[in-house]
């Protein structure tokens, strides 16, 4: 698959986050940290905040032109709501936007 134009970088990732109004909690060499609030088992009394990181500029496999979305901390069962598996790579803003919309819904 050939992609024309500039590929993903930290600035383009921030543009997508701003467009979707997802607040940035932190930013470091590894990437951009974002949070979401979930209700395990649909119980509002057990709301918890999950920390996620968008790996930019090097990413997981050294792909400096792609973005990966991964949990900030690995959780082991029985606390894990889903297995640790980075999502991605996302090579353009449209792919990242679709992925972040699904992430925000809890998918």
Predicted pLDDT of residue 59: 44
With a cut of 50, which residues of the chain have pLDDT below it? 59
Distance of CA 80 to the CA centre of its chain: 17
Q: Where are the domains of the chain?
A: 10-105
Give dist(CA 99, CA 101) in Å, integer: 5
Q: Which residues are CB-contacts of 105 (< 8 A; sequence separation ≥ 6)?
A: none
Give dist(CA 34, CA 24) in Å, integer: 5
Predicted pLDDT of residue 73: 75
Distance of CA 39 to the CA centre of its chain: 18
Say what the pTM is: 0.79
Predicted pLDDT of residue 80: 56
């Amino acid at each position: 698959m050939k992609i024309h134009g500039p590929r993903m970088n930290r600035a383009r990732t921030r543009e997508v986050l701003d467009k979707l109004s997802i607040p940035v909690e932190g930013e470091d060499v590894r990437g951009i940290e974002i949070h979401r609030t979930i209700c395990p088992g649909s119980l509002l009394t057990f709301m918890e905040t999950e920390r996620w990181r968008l790996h930019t500029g090097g990413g997981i496999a050294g792909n400096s032109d792609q973005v990966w979305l991964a949990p900030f901390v690995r959780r082991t069962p029985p606390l894990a709501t889903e297995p640790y598996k980075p999502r991605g790579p996302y090579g353009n803003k449209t792919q990242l936007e679709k992925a972040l919309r699904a992430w925000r819904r809890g998918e």
